[in-house]
Amino acid sequence: MAKRSSIVLLAVLVCLFASTSRIDKVYGKDKKLQPEEVLAKHLESIGTPEARAAVKSRTAFGIAHVRRPIGTVPLILPEPGKQSDPNNFLIASTENKLGMILRFYDQDYPAEHFAFDGKDATVGITSKNRKSILGEFVNTYSGIMREGLFGGVLSTAWPLLNAQGSTYKLTYNVKVDNGIKLHQLTYTPKSRGYLNNIVVSIFFDFETYCHVMTEYAVMGNVNVHPTAFLIEKFGTFRKVDGLTLPHAYSIEYNTWGSISPWLWSVEIKQVLHNGPIDPQLFHVQQ
């Protein structure tokens, strides 16, 4: 009788263990993904291999605004009703080349121009023979253009499109941002010459694996906390020629302890593939 009770108890425990295992799979901790898994799902989120391979160049046009921090010149540029160009934002790319222009029609802040021609990274001067705060950051850490990170999946230079023969290392984590879970890949180039003291984190939607944010954190000498942040955000994903691409784009710049960042925001109005691109877009003429 005791032996039979032991057998029944063992069977109950086995069933309980199996049930608990199933519950853990559903409600338990998230599976530790490998960077290669996230990368593969991210590429699927963009489009089929055939659709991705068909794109040799991309040009996107849109409407851009800049919001200056509290305590600086209180302007939102371009001001409503004073914008003379319906498309004052342009990003163009082919292979690893990139050109990005934002026009603001302001005497002190007329425009931004960021460019990489495959060899040299150049940044435009805004006024008074100097670069803007954004221009200084991109110029100092030009690796964000050289590596193809700047502009995210809006650019054909996006490094995650070509994992084979890559010159970077990826590590995986999970991040919770304002209560929203994101996949996080920390991007480490093999050569840090142009990204010295920068930690690059790339974030993806937890369900769709679309690229939604890249954070560039400048670390201080003691690495206690970043001294400055540049954050690119991407949203409003739509299909264009079989590819899912963001139609909302923004850049934030902030320093440690500041509560009011610079904010450049763009609404993408049109995306064109495989059209002609002026080579001058890929190099800034000062």
pLDDT value of position 22: 41
DSSP letter at 79 equals P
CB 119 within 8 A of CB 95: no
CB 132 within 8 A of CB 123: no
pLDDT value of position 108: 83
Q: Kindly report, residue by residue over 243-256, the tens digit of the pLDDT.
A: 999 999 999 999 87
Compute the radius of gyration of the chain from its Cα atoms.
23
Res. 19 pLDDT band, cuts 50 70 90: very low
Of the listed ranges 20-34, 96-110, 118-132, 234-248, the least confidently predicted one is 20-34
- For the cut 50, the answer to whether the pLDDT of residue 12 exceeds it is no
Q: Kindly report, residue by residue over 270-286, the tens digit of the pLDDT.
A: 999 999 999 999 999 87
Of the listed ranges 81-90, 93-102, 132-141, 182-191, the least confidently predicted one is 81-90
User: CA 151, CA 100: separation in Å to the nearest integer?
Assistant: 8
Return all residues near 244 (Cβ < 8 A) that are at least 6 apart: 45, 46, 47, 210, 237, 238
- Give the other-Cβ count within 10 Å of 188's Cβ: 13
Q: What are phi and psi of 258, to 5 degrees?
A: -80, 145
Q: Where are the alpha helices (DSSP H) in the chain?
A: 2-27, 35-46, 49-53, 133-140, 143-146
Give the mean model confidence (pLDDT) for residues 185-205. Answer: 91
- Which of 263, 37, 280 is CA-nearest to residue 172? 37
pTM of this structure: 0.84
What is the rounded average pLDDT for all residues in the chain? Answer: 85
Give the mean model confidence (pLDDT) for residues 196-225. Answer: 89
pLDDT value of position 271: 98
- Which of 197, 95, 91, 92 is CA-nearest to residue 143? 197
pLDDT value of position 79: 54
Q: Which of 5-14, 122-131, 159-168 has the highest mean pLDDT?
A: 122-131
Two tokens, residue 194: 């142009």
User: CA 153, CA 267: separation in Å to the nearest integer?
Assistant: 15
